[in-house]
Amino acid sequence: AQSVAQPEDQVNVAEGNPLTVKCTYSVSGNPYLFWYVQYPNRGLQFLLKYITGDNLVKGSYGFEAEFNKSQTSFHLKKPSALVSDSALYFCAVRDWGGSYIPTFGRGTSLIVHP
Amino acid sequence: SQTIHQWPATLVQPVGSPLSLECTVEGTSNPNLYWYRQAAGRGLQLLFYSVGIGQISSEVPQNLSASRPQDRQFILSSKKLLLSDSGFYLCALRSGNTIYFGEGSWLTVV
């Protein structure tokens, strides 16, 4: 079985400050982990993924995420937030040995204040 | 790279009317295709999953059906819409280990 949790419904951060959007997961085997961003009235856009290798993954728009196996976490980070980063962020997980159907979190709304 | 087209982008339909949402993909062959619904701007619900022509897996029993008449075409249908069918419908495809989404279709049932 696989599951993912995004413990924060909303994250508020000031422009220029670092941001973190949290994600924890549970899988039977090894995880594939993903982050997506959704702007209002748009589809989800793929940001980055962890499959194997370096625990720090870099993705689009200056975002990065750190895979932490001991804490079963995959938090999304950015060193300096922009107002344009304000959007809904989804974490997803899939078990290596499972079907090609990932489980998505409920989403975290990121609000970056000018 | 692959492209996902969804139409119509928005639709307002009365209760009891039929529905057809279309999804076509380009730049890939024999893709795994998915229909998701997103209600209230939040969580995603997987509705249907297809690994090939005529092969549909239904994840949630409901008022909707899906068909895959061609390799790159995936259709979401209903014979009689309910108010609860309102939402944002997203078509997606799998490329390698990653799922990519289309721009979605907004359905409002009135």
Q: Which residues from chain B sit within 8 angstroms of residue A43, using beta carbons? A: 4, 90, 101-104
Which of A42, A51, A88 is closest, CB to CB, to B97? Answer: A51
What is the pLDDT, as a whole number, of residue B89? 97
What is the pLDDT, as a whole number, of residue B41? 63
Q: What is the mean pLDDT of residues A56-61?
A: 95
- Bridge partners (DSSP) listed for residue A103: A93
Sign of the dihedral through C-alpha A102, A93, B27, A42: positive
Nearest CA in chain B to A42: B103
What is the pLDDT, as a whole number, of residue A58? 96
* Mutation to test the B interface, candidates A30, A35, A49, A100, most B Cβ within 10 Å: A100
Pair B4, B93: CB distance under 8 Å: yes
B11 shares contact with chain A (CB less than 8 Å): no
Q: Is the pLDDT of residue A33 over 70?
A: yes
Q: Do B90 and A43 touch (CB under 8 A)?
A: yes
Pair B91, B56: CB distance under 8 Å: no
Average of per-residue pLDDT values in chain B = 94
The DSSP line for chain A is --EEE---SEEEEETTS-EEE--EEE-SSPEEEEEEEE-TTS-EEEEEEE-SS-SEEE-GGG-EEEEETTTTEEEEEESS--GGG-EEEEEEEEETTS-S-PEE---EEEEEE-
Contacts of A46 by beta carbon, 8 Å cutoff, 6+ apart: A34, A36, A60, B98, B99, B100, B101
Contacts of A12 by beta carbon, 8 Å cutoff, 6+ apart: A111, A113
Confidence of residue A99 (pLDDT cuts 50, 70, 90): confident
* Mutation to test the B interface, candidates A34, A104, A106, A109, most B Cβ within 10 Å: A104
Q: What is the mean pLDDT of residues A31-45?
A: 95
- Give the whole-number percent of chain B exceeding pLDDT 90: 84
What is the pLDDT, as a whole number, of residue A73? 98
Confidence of residue A100 (pLDDT cuts 50, 70, 90): confident
Q: Which residues from chain B sit within 8 angstroms of residue A42, using beta carbons? A: 103-104
Nearest CA in chain A to B89: A43
What is the pLDDT, as a whole number, of residue B61? 67
Nearest CA in chain A to B46: A101
CA triplet A39, A37, B31: central angle to 5 degrees?
Answer: 110
A46 shares contact with chain B (CB less than 8 Å): yes
B94 shares contact with chain A (CB less than 8 Å): yes
What is the pLDDT, as a whole number, of residue A66? 96
Confidence of residue B102 (pLDDT cuts 50, 70, 90): very high
